[in-house]
């Protein structure tokens, strides 16, 4: 009855995240715990060599996820969801969404998954003396300029998927600083784009004949807790075409999935970190001091409050596990066995614990797309073994579970050499759904204790809801870290797995074979 009244009074807070394969809406109550949810499954498309999503599909998914949330509210509490206190939206970081002065989309949406901007990323990294990864928005823009794409001269607004959704819901062209840090380098002191780098890019654009300047086409930058508009009547109708949702909910700055992962795991303070493992995998470590030099494998982004973060991002993680699970489901169906997908995933992950520590010589190269961290421009998923390798189901299972984390291990070794200190590392995402297994494998890969919170399964949408709650509920001048520690995670329970020496040594041996197998991967990609 208490939650029913809370909903009727319009006090609930909504977080929505557009992930790679799922759009999810989470509603939280007065204690910040989820009280209802709704989701929608979608998938990227490979069209004309570009990984993309259609914005029409985005709207279908957003509306379906919200409709399913409304159904969940009505089923649980017997009330219609018509009013909200606050809303926060997030999505996959980076990418390229360009619009003209009349708000017409100018080019195909280019997602984080594309590895088509190598020249631009290399030139910008050299000019800025700051690593610009291929998936960053500025790399996509500059590559389009280098390619002479006609639409570039018409750009009036460039944004990300989260920025686009927020813009449509509120009318405001703004990003949270964490999301903005995946578009263009950030000055953490000023919580804004780096002024010197903006000027350098504008000089380059002027030389190439473009009339716009970068600040004029990029979204404004906002800190966590800053005002970022309210849900307009038009935005409410977009979110809920039934017309039942009222306008007026306060909106917080939109963030990327990296920032929401940090919030959902309470990893926004220095010397904390988290690993988000789903379709892609990334580790975010909040730094005490800058790295000694520029590393092309390490992205420098920020927390939702602008603190510098070293990010190791890998394009490939659980997609290959999903593909193998689907194949195994097909085998079970053909054999007349009534086995669910959930049972298959559980069997794969649990069997991985029974495999030999080095997977018995079986190596899974889980690369569906290019992987810059290990120098791959294109992906060719393959499983390789020497004639003497022991291909048992347990070794196979361990190889695909380990294979999802191997590229991350390669990138994280750079931070280890930089002597970056990590007091706590938390995992979240689908990779950790089966208890213990994903934690043990990651702890072995990084040789670092890994914790998973009971709430970590809620993931990014919940983290986004927490940022929205912070926007409306924080005390004056209260830092985000203090709000999370005092209001959200004070009584949170976490389960920790420490690295087993034999597991770590086995993962090292497996990784050595993985790196050798990359030559076969490159050769396969070279054959068209």
Place of tokens 């790679």: 20
What pLDDT was estimated at residue 86?
98
On whether the CB atoms of residues 175 and 159 are closer than 8 A, the answer is yes
Domain of 386 in residue numbering reads as 319-403+502-526
Q: What share of the chain is helix, strand, coil (3-state, %, to 5)?
A: 45, 20, 40
What pLDDT was estimated at residue 453?
83
Q: How many domains does the chain have?
A: 1
Asked if the structure places residue 394 within a domain, the reply is: yes
Give how far Cα 370 sits from Cα of 322, 380, 381, 466, Å.
18, 8, 10, 33
Give pTM, 2 decimals: 0.82
On whether the CB atoms of residues 431 and 279 are closer than 8 A, the answer is no
Measured CA to CA, the distance from residue 184 to residue 193 in angstroms comes to 7
Q: Rounded to the nearest 5°, which phi and psi values hold at 356?
A: -65, 150
Q: Cα Rg for the chain, rounded, in angstroms?
A: 23
Asked if the structure places residue 277 within a domain, the reply is: no
Asked if the structure places residue 520 within a domain, the reply is: yes
Q: Can you give the three-state secondary structure of 364-399, one letter per residue?
A: EECCCCCEHHHCECCCCCEEEECCCCCCCHHHHHHH
Asked if the structure places residue 147 within a domain, the reply is: no
pLDDT in tens, the chain (528 residues): 799 999 999 999 999 999 999 999 999 999 999 999 999 999 999 999 999 999 999 999 999 999 999 999 999 999 999 999 999 999 999 999 999 999 999 999 999 989 899 999 999 999 999 999 999 999 999 999 999 999 999 999 999 999 999 999 999 999 999 999 999 999 999 999 999 999 999 999 999 999 999 999 999 999 999 999 999 999 999 999 999 999 999 999 999 998 998 998 899 999 999 998 988 898 999 998 888 899 988 989 999 999 999 989 899 999 999 999 999 999 999 999 999 999 999 999 999 999 999 999 999 999 998 898 998 989 999 999 999 999 999 999 999 999 999 999 999 999 989 999 888 799 988 899 898 999 999 999 999 899 998 765 567 899 999 999 999 999 999 999 999 999 999 888 889 999 999 999 999 999 999 999 999 999 999 987
Asked if the structure places residue 342 within a domain, the reply is: yes
What pLDDT was estimated at residue 528?
76
Measured CA to CA, the distance from residue 437 to residue 359 in angstroms comes to 15
Asked if the structure places residue 34 within a domain, the reply is: no
Asked if the structure places residue 512 within a domain, the reply is: yes
Asked if the structure places residue 233 within a domain, the reply is: no
What pLDDT was estimated at residue 423?
84
């Amino acid at each position: 009855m208490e939650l029913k009244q809370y909903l009727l009074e319009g006090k609930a807070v909504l977080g929505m995240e557009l992930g790679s394969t799922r759009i999810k809406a989470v509603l939280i109550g007065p204690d910040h715990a989820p009280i209802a949810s709704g989701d929608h499954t979608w998938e990227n498309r490979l069209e004309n060599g570009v990984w993309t999503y259609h914005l029409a599909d985005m709207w279908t998914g957003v509306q379906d996820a919200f409709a399913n949330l409304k159904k969940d509210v009505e089923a649980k509490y017997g009330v219609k969801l018509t009013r909200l206190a606050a809303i926060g939206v997030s999505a996959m970081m980076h990418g390229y969404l360009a619009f003209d002065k009349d708000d017409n989309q100018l080019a195909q949406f280019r997602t984080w998954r594309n590895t088509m901007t190598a020249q631009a990323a290399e030139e910008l990294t050299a000019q800025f003396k700051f690593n610009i990864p291929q998936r960053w928005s500025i790399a996509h823009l500059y590559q389009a300029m280098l390619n002479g794409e006609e639409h570039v001269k018409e750009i009036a607004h460039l944004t990300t998927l989260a920025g686009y959704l927020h813009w449509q819901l509120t009318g405001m062209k703004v990003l949270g600083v964490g999301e903005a840090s995946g578009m263009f380098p950030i000055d953490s002191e000023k919580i804004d784009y780096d002024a010197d780098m903006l000027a350098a890019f504008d000089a380059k654009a002027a030389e190439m004949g473009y009339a716009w300047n970068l600040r004029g086409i990029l979204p404004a930058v906002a800190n966590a807790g800053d005002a970022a508009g309210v849900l307009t009547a038009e935005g409410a109708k977009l979110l809920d075409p039934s017309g039942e949702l009222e306008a007026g909910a306060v909106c917080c700055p939109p963030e990327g999935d990296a920032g929401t992962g940090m919030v959902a795991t309470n990893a926004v303070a220095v010397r904390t970190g988290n690993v988000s493992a789903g379709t892609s995998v990334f580790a975010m470590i909040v730094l005490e001091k800058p790295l000694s030099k520029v590393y092309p494998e390490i992205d420098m982004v920020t927390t939702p409050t602008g603190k510098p973060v070293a990010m190791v991002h890998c394009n490939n993680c659980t997609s290959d596990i999903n593909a193998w699970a689907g194949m195994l489901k097909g085998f079970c169906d053909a054999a007349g066995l009534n086995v669910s997908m959930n049972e298959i995933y559980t069997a794969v992950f649990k069997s991985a614990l029974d495999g030999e520590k080095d997977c018995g010589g079986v190596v899974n190269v889980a690369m569906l797309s290019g992987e810059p961290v290990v120098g791959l421009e294109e992906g060719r998923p393959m499983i390789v073994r020497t004639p003497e390798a022991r291909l048992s189901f347990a070794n196979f299972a361990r190889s695909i579970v380990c294979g999802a984390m191997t590229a991350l291990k390669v990138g994280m070794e750079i931070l280890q050499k930089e002597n970056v200190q990590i007091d706590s590392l938390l995992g979240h995402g689908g990779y950790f759904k089966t208890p213990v297994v994903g934690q043990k494998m990651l702890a072995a890969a990084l040789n670092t204790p890994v914790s998973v919170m009971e709430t970590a399964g809620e993931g990014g949408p919940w983290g986004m809801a927490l940022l929205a709650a912070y926007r409306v509920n924080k005390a004056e001048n209260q830092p985000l870290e203090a709000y999370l520690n005092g209001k959200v995670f004070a009584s949170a329970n976490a389960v920790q797995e420490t690295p087993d020496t034999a597991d770590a040594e086995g993962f090292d041996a497996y990784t050595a074979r993985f790196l050798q197998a990359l030559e076969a991967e490159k050769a396969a990609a070279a054959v068209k």
